[in-house]
Amino acid sequence: MDDHELAGYLAELAGAELLHFRQEGIRSGTNSWVLRDKGDLISHNLLIEQLSRHRPQDAVLSEEGSDDQRRLDADRVWIIDPLDGSQDYPYNGSDEWAVHVALIEDGELKAGAVSCPSLNRHYSTAMRYPDERQIREERIVVSNRWNAYQAAYVAEAIGARLASCGSAGIKASLVIGEDADVYIHNSGLYEWDVCAPVAVARAAGLSACQLDGSDFKFNKKAPIVRGLVICHSELLDEVLNVLNSG
Ligand SMILES: [Mg+2]
């Protein structure tokens, strides 16, 4: 398996395990807080075990692991979110959670995968995507639930409807799958929230950048990014104009 295939394989493997674990947990009446924490842990442990088997030399930065700063000197670093959208994960019928797996090599985003098991959607940089993307007739801007202020102005400017949901991976997958045209996250995020969605979005021919239009730098000492925009390339200038005017 090359790095792209491995990213896809790992995200789907962890996603399937999480789906199964949630079904069992809900069936047996496990408390939702416990289910959420155990889901985080099960997926983290599985991904760490698999990475140490398939890529024993590589460093890992996981939302659920302790931050081993030796990653800062490593050539290859996997940045993973074992369970993105964990607040929604424990509830039957909630689809808004995902698994993120990405690889940084020599400071560049090399490979990635986002698995959305309950939507049965799995995207990776190993896949081929259509050469041409259409802007939807009824444009949709998707944003996080807690702060859609800037996204609302973007929606107004490009004549789009505004929608919101949980999980960065889910929102990215909506744009990748052409169910939305723009994803705006107007607050700081961690690198594990963003890395894999950006890798896959770019492979699918979309534009991805921080809110001010600048590119990401990954595997930083403080692994934080300044928001996220994923959108159809033809809409990028218009979106950034709205985001950065006054
Ligand atoms: Mg997480």
Query: Ligand 1: distance of its center to the CA of 136 in Å?
Result: 30
Query: Ligand 1: distance of its center to the CA of 43 in Å?
Result: 10
Task: Per-residue pLDDT tens, the chain, 246 aa: give them.
Answer: 999 999 999 999 999 999 999 999 999 999 999 999 999 999 999 999 999 999 999 999 999 999 999 999 999 999 999 999 999 999 878 889 999 999 999 999 999 999 999 999 999 999 999 888 888 889 999 998 888 889 999 999 999 999 999 999 999 999 999 999 999 999 999 999 999 999 999 999 999 999 999 999 999 999 999 999 999 999 999 999 999 986
Query: Ligand 1: distance of its center to the CA of 85 in Å?
Result: 6
Query: Ligand 1: distance of its center to the CA of 239 in Å?
Result: 28
Query: Ligand 1: distance of its center to the CA of 28 in Å?
Result: 23
Q: How far is CA 10 from CA 51, 58, 117, 172, in A?
A: 8, 15, 12, 18
Query: Ligand 1: distance of its center to the CA of 58 in Å?
Result: 21
Other CB atoms within a 10 A radius of the CB of residue 172 amount to: 33
Where b means 16+ CB within 10 Å and e means fewer, 3-34 reads bbebbbbbbbbbbebbbebbeebeeeebeeee
* DSSP class of 126: T
Determine the 3-state secondary structure of 128 from DSSP: coil
Q: Which pLDDT belongs to residue 183?
A: 97
Query: Ligand 1: distance of its center to the CA of 52 in Å?
Result: 20
Q: Which pLDDT belongs to residue 1?
A: 95
Q: What is the pTM of this model?
A: 0.96
What is d(CA 84, CA 87) in angstroms, rounded to the nearest whole number?
Answer: 9
Closest CA to 13 of 124, 118, 117: 117
What is d(CA 46, CA 167) in angstroms, rounded to the nearest whole number?
Answer: 20
Query: Ligand 1: distance of its center to the CA of 41 in Å?
Result: 10
Query: Ligand 1: distance of its center to the CA of 77 in Å?
Result: 18
Query: Ligand 1: distance of its center to the CA of 171 in Å?
Result: 15
Query: Ligand 1: distance of its center to the CA of 70 in Å?
Result: 22
Q: Which pLDDT belongs to residue 137?
A: 84
Query: Ligand 1: distance of its center to the CA of 82 in Å?
Result: 6
What domains sit in the chain, N to C, each tagged with a CATH number? 3-124 (3.30.540.10), 140-243 (3.40.190.80)
Q: Which pLDDT belongs to residue 246?
A: 65
